[in-house]
Each structure stands twice: as C-alpha cells, then as structure tokens.
Amino acid sequence: MTLRHFEILRTVAETGNFTRAAEKLYITQSAVSHAIRELEDKTGTALFDRLSKSVQLTRSGGLLLEEIIPILSSCEALESRINGLEHRAPLHIVSSITIAAFWLPKILTAFQKDWPDIPIHVDVVSAANAIEILRNGKADIALVEGTAPQGPFKCTPLASYPLNIVCAPDYPSTNKELTLQEFCSEKLLLREKGSAIRDTLDSVLYLSGHTVQPVWTSVNSLALIEAAKAGLGITILPDVLVSESLSQGKLISISVQELVLNNELIAVHHRDKYLTSPLRTLLSYIESTMSLGAQNA
C-alpha cells in the first residue's frame, strides 16, 4: 500500500464515484478502479458497495478511512512545510571560552532577530575539544583561538588579540624586563594544556628551548586573575580579560624578552559541509562582528 492508494480511497469516498474521483485526481478511471481493487485484495474485504450510480463505503472501508485520514493529513502538513526545513533546522556551535564570553552573545542576538525560528545550541569548550566535536560531525561550526587545525576543514581567519603578561603591582621582579629563562623560573599561573592560550605560550617557548612548570593550572581565567591580584604569581591572559584590572591598577603588565604573544580567532567548518542559508548568514555575522570587535578592543 502507498500513500497514493490512501489518497484515491479518500477521494472516492468523498465523491461517491470512481469517475469523479479520477477527474479530481487527474488520473484515469481505470487507475482508480485498479487502486481500489489492490486495497481490497490487501485487506481481504470489500471497501465499497458498488451501487447503480455511485459507490458507498462499507463498514470495513469506513474503518480503513478512519485510519488513513490522520496519515494523509500529516503528509499534507509536512508537504506545506518541507520547503522551509532549512529555515527551521537547528544549528550547533562549539566555541572557545573567550569567544563565547566576549563575542558570541552579541552575534547570536543579532542573528536571531533575522532567524527567530532556528534553535541554536552552543557548547563552550577548549579549542582542542571544539575541533574534536567538529571532526566527529556533532557541530556545524567551531569558533576557536590559536593555530588553524589540521584536517578536512575550511578555516576563516577572523581577527587576533594580544595576550598580556600580568601580575600584581607588588609582585617581586616587576621592576625589570625578564629574560625567557627568568620568566620560566617565576611562579606562573596558567591556563590548562589544550587551551588556545596555553598552546600559544608553549609553542613559543618550545621553539626557544624552554618549558614551564606552573604553580597554578586552571580552566577558569577569572581564578587566575584573582590569584594574580593576590600576588601569587604571573598569569598570561587575553587583553580583553585583564584590561579592566590593568586600568584600575590592580594588575600591571610586565615585559619578557622575545615573548610577544597573540592569539588568532578562527571560524572552522568541515570543507565538504553544505552551508545552509542560515549558516552562511551566521558566518557573515561572525566575521563582521568579531573583526570589528577585535579592532575596537
């Protein structure tokens, strides 16, 4: 049995005549008769009483009609919505913590004014985890910091921001420029391995033949800021995170020879992924908002 069989049965029941049903459906009368016979063979019973000038549903035919009407109604409702699927399909974003904190809320607020019916799911994770989620096909786009990931991805550079090396004003060793060796020997309060900030630092130090052993490691940048304010050590964080504390004099920047750190902001999606109209619009919002925001910062 097919939906076409059900549609023919309903139309014959509505018109009470095979000929009129055929005209309404723009098919031949023989096609109508053939479909009804196939249904009767399938059900093993007569579905219509053939009267002299019309046909009438039997009790069994009436029961079958009750079953198929909700099916046909659902299919017709789906058909009316099917061309708009792209405008209602949910989007899944994975984002690094800094991007989610300083850019993503503004982006999504603007986007949802234009696309209010699209559900958006966001996971805020480390850069490494974001790419892994994207690689497994569980996200549409990843917003990450650091170097462009290797693999079957298309990467769109968005902007960059400086990483500040900061500590409390009364922390020792703040009155001079540190060498890399001196810096690595200090009490360091750092983000966890796998974060974009830590990976950027470790990469620069590795090329210079240095490594660090932090006294604090945290996934929470605020915890590192507070520890630095308390004089517990030196931390390295995005300019946007420490600018307020710097302006208030609660933290100061320190200089380290040959250690200039910047993080790139990148939008990443699978190179073979079909980009829906909403996803293309979202990418456009991301590019324009983050590029402008980074310039203003």
CB atoms within 10 A of CB 77: 10
Is the pLDDT score of 174 beyond 80?
Answer: no
Instruction: Determine the pLDDT at residue 62.
Output: 93
Q: Is the distance from CB of 275 to CB of 159 less than 8 angstroms?
A: no
| Average pLDDT of the segment spanning 72-96 | 83
Is the pLDDT score of 18 beyond 60?
Answer: yes
Is the pLDDT score of 278 beyond 80?
Answer: yes
Domains and CATH numbers, the chain: 3-82 (1.10.10.10), 89-159+263-294 (3.40.190.10), 161-261 (3.40.190.10)
> What's the pTM?
0.67
Low-confidence winner among 123-127, 178-182, 240-244, 253-257 (lowest mean pLDDT): 123-127
Instruction: Determine the pLDDT at residue 80.
Output: 73
194: left (phi over 0), alpha (psi -120 to 50) or beta: left
Instruction: Name the DSSP class of 256.
Output: B
Residue with tokens 């703040």: 174
Q: How far apart are CA 286 and CA 290, in angstroms?
A: 6
- HEC sequence for 28-77: CHHHHHHHHHHHHHHHCCCCEEECCCCEEECHHHHHHHHHHHHHHHHHHH
Instruction: Name the DSSP class of 139.
Output: -
Phi, psi (deg, nearest 5) at residue 190: -125, 155
If one compares 97 and 296, the residue with the highest pLDDT of the two is 97
Q: 295 pLDDT band (50/70/90 cuts)?
A: very low
Q: How far apart are CA 117 and CA 87, in angstroms?
A: 7
Using a 10 angstrom Cβ sphere, with 0-12 exposed, 13-18 middle and 19 or more buried, the burial of residue 169 is exposed
Is the pLDDT score of 262 beyond 70?
Answer: yes
Low-confidence winner among 2-11, 46-55, 83-92, 256-265 (lowest mean pLDDT): 83-92
Per-residue pLDDT tens over the stretch 91-147: 999 998 888 988 899 999 999 998 998 999 999 988 778 889 998 889 999 999 888
Per-residue pLDDT tens over the stretch 33-75: 999 999 999 999 999 998 888 899 999 999 999 999 999 988 8
Both tokens assigned to 112? 């949802």
Instruction: Determine the pLDDT at residue 4.
Output: 93
Q: Is the distance from CB of 134 to CB of 105 less than 8 angstroms?
A: no
Q: How far apart are CA 194 and CA 284, in angstroms?
A: 28
| Average pLDDT of the segment spanning 2-19 | 93
Contacts of 41 (CB under 8 A, 6+ apart): none
Q: How far apart are CA 129 and CA 266, in angstroms?
A: 15
Instruction: Determine the pLDDT at residue 292.
Output: 53
Instruction: Determine the pLDDT at residue 205.
Output: 93
Is the pLDDT score of 297 beyond 60?
Answer: no
DSSP lists the bridge partners of residue 161 as: 263
Per-residue pLDDT tens over the stretch 175-223: 778 999 999 999 999 999 888 889 889 999 999 999 999 999 998 999 9
Both tokens assigned to 83? 């061309």
CA dihedral 234, 235, 238, 244 (to 10 degrees): -60
